[in-house]
């Protein structure tokens, strides 16, 4: 089956429905064992074609993603990334953690995007308004959530703004994990960015959990020994 090529057809339907600003949203880090879950937001106010080569970030090399990210910034009206920490992933579960990261990404745009495209259930955004305020201290929408929300299957492959959002989210989160890798040399975070590569799993067996691991994930049950919060693996040079 041929790969989907992202275009602006869904964005066009939202503009036709009265939206003045349309934002595409996509998450990265859902399946990682360490680090945050991150949501990219890319907003546009016209149907100017996206930069050539914009695709779902999973279909691009790291070099291509880094090349495209500044082109997306230039193309978009605004682009941002919101994060939910590993602690918040544990506290909230993944659905609400993604909702929290999405609300932070939308607020960081600095203006109201009245149309949104998401890759998945609409409640990933609605949950932020209805439930997160009761679960996360101090959480409130700084701006209003989008008025028009379109949920599209494989939106990261079909919709240009969502594909662009996947790129900026991936580049940003990868950079955070690369920075963290200096504190946890055995875990190879600069390469696996928190996902369970063989090196990562071997380091868990030898060193236990670091301070950026998600402790509620099922993999924790198979770690032979776990350090206490006060003695988590930190920069050791090992």
- The rounded distance, in Å, linking the Cα atoms of 137 and 133 is 7
Closest CA to 66 of 57, 78, 77: 57
CATH of domain 9-179: 3.30.420.10
- Cα dihedral across residues 93, 30, 116, 83: positive or negative: positive
At residue 231, the pLDDT reads 37
Tokens standing for residue 3: 């790969």
Closest residue by Cα to residue 84 from 103, 67, 65, 69: 103
Q: What is the pLDDT along the chain (238 residues), one digit of tens a residue?
A: 345 789 999 999 999 999 999 999 999 999 999 999 999 999 999 999 999 999 999 999 999 999 999 999 999 999 999 999 999 999 989 988 998 899 899 989 989 899 999 987 776 676 655 566 555 555 555 667 788 999 999 999 999 999 999 999 999 999 999 999 999 999 999 999 999 999 999 999 999 999 999 999 999 988 876 544 433 444 333 2
pLDDT computed for residue 178 by the predictor: 97
Query: Where in the chain are the domains?
Result: 9-179, 183-231
Question: Are the C-beta atoms of 173 and 35 separated by less than 8 Å?
Answer: yes
Predicted local confidence at residue 119, as pLDDT: 87
pLDDT of amino acid 112: 87
CA dist., res. 164 & res. 169, Å (int): 9
Two structure tokens written together for 106: 């939308």
Sign of the CA dihedral running 157, 158, 161, 162: negative
Dist CA 90 CA 215 (whole Å): 7
- Angle at CA of residue 29, ends 7 and 119, nearest 5°: 35
Q: Which two tokens stand for residue 37?
A: 């879950």
SS3 (DSSP) at 82 = strand
Nearest to 26, CA basis, from 148, 145, 157: 157
Axis-axis angle for helices 160-181, 62-75 (nearest 10): 120
Q: Are 58 and 31 in contact (CB under 8 A)?
A: no
How far apart (Å, rounded) are the C-alpha atoms in residues 95 and 56? 21
Strand partners, 37: 84
Calpha distance 3→5 (Å, rounded): 6
What's the pLDDT at 236?
Answer: 36
């Amino acid at each position: 089956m041929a790969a989907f090529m992202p275009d602006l057809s869904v964005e066009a339907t939202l503009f036709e429905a009265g939206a003045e600003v349309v934002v595409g949203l996509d998450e990265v880090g859902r399946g990682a064992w360490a680090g945050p879950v991150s949501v990219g937001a890319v907003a546009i106010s016209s149907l100017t074609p996206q930069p050539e080569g914009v695709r779902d970030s999973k279909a691009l090399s790291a070099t291509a993603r880094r090349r495209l990210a500044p082109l997306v910034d230039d193309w978009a009206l605004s682009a941002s990334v919101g994060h939910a920490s590993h602690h918040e992933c544990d506290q909230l579960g993944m659905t609400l953690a993604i909702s929290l990261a999405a609300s932070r990404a939308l607020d960081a745009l600095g203006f109201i995007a009245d149309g949104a495209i998401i890759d998945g259930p609409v409640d990933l955004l609605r949950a932020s308004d209805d439930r997160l305020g009761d679960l996360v201290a101090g959480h409130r929408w700084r701006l209003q959530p989008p008025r028009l929300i379109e949920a599209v299957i494989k939106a990261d492959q079909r919709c240009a703004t969502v594909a662009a959002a996947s790129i900026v989210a991936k580049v940003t989160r990868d950079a955070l994990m690369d920075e963290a890798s200096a504190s946890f040399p055995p875990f190879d975070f600069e390469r696996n960015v928190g996902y369970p590569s063989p090196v990562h799993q071997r380091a868990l067996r030898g060193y236990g959990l670091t301070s950026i691991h998600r402790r509620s994930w099922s993999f924790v049950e198979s770690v032979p020994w776990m350090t206490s919060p006060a003695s988590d693996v930190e920069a050791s040079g090992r």
